Amino acid sequence: MDAAARGVRPQAVLFLCGHNQVRSPIAAALAKRLFAQSLYVGSAGVRKGEADPFVAAVMDEIGIDLSRHKPLTLDEIEEYEGLNFDLIISLSPEAHHKALELTRTLALEVEYWPTPNPMAVSGNREQRLDAYRAVRDQLATRIKQRFDWRPVGAD
C-alpha cells in the first residue's frame, strides 16, 4: 500500500517534470505556500529548461513571485542538496519514467499526476495564459486534495 492510500503525508516532496520550466515550479510554489511549515518542497526537471515568462505572469496573479525561478535538473538537485525526498510527484511521462528509475536505488514513493503542457497551446497571449491558468488551478486542487489542506479555522 502506498503513502497516498495510507493517508500519510510525506515530509519532503519533489515535483518533477521535463524541464522544470512550467509544471514543476508551479506545483512546488503552490505546495510551499500551502504547507510551508510542514512540508519540504523541491522542483526539478529531467533536462535543463529556460524560465517561462507565462509562469511568472499566472503565478503573480495569485500573489506568488516566480520571476526569479531558475530551472534545475534532477542531477543539479542531487548535487546541491541530495535526493532526500519521501515522495516524487511526476508531472510528465518522461519525468515519471525517470522517477521510477530512481526507486531502484532510493527508498521513495512515486506518484504520477499527468498534467498537460501549456507550452503546447497556441493562440494569442490571453489564450496561452488561460492554458497556464488551467494547469495552475488543476495543480492547486490536486495538491490540496493529496496533502489534505484545510483553511485556517476549519475543523
Question: What number of CA atoms fall less than 13 Å from residue 59's CA on the CB side?
Answer: 25
Share of the chain above pLDDT 70, in %: 90
Tens of pLDDT, residue by residue over 3-46, are: 444 456 799 999 999 999 999 999 999 999 999 888 999 999 99
Question: Grid coordinates in use for 77?
Answer: 538537485
Task: State the virtual CA torsion across 69, 70, 76, 80 in degrees, nearest 10.
Answer: -60
pLDDT(153) > 80: no
The domain that contains 45 carries what CATH number? 3.40.50.2300
Residue 62 lies inside a defined structural domain of this protein: yes
Residue 4 lies inside a defined structural domain of this protein: no
pLDDT(109) > 80: yes
pLDDT at site 152: 52
The pTM is what?
0.91
Residue 120 lies inside a defined structural domain of this protein: yes
Residue 155 lies inside a defined structural domain of this protein: no
- Range of 64's domain? 11-146
Residue 105 lies inside a defined structural domain of this protein: yes
Domain count, the chain: 1
Residue 152 lies inside a defined structural domain of this protein: no
pLDDT at site 37: 85
Residue 1 lies inside a defined structural domain of this protein: no
Question: What number of CA atoms fall less than 13 Å from residue 99's CA on the CB side?
Answer: 27
Residue 153 lies inside a defined structural domain of this protein: no
Average pLDDT, the chain: 91
Q: Which residues pair with 45 in a beta bridge?
A: 17, 73
More confident residue, 136 or 3: 136
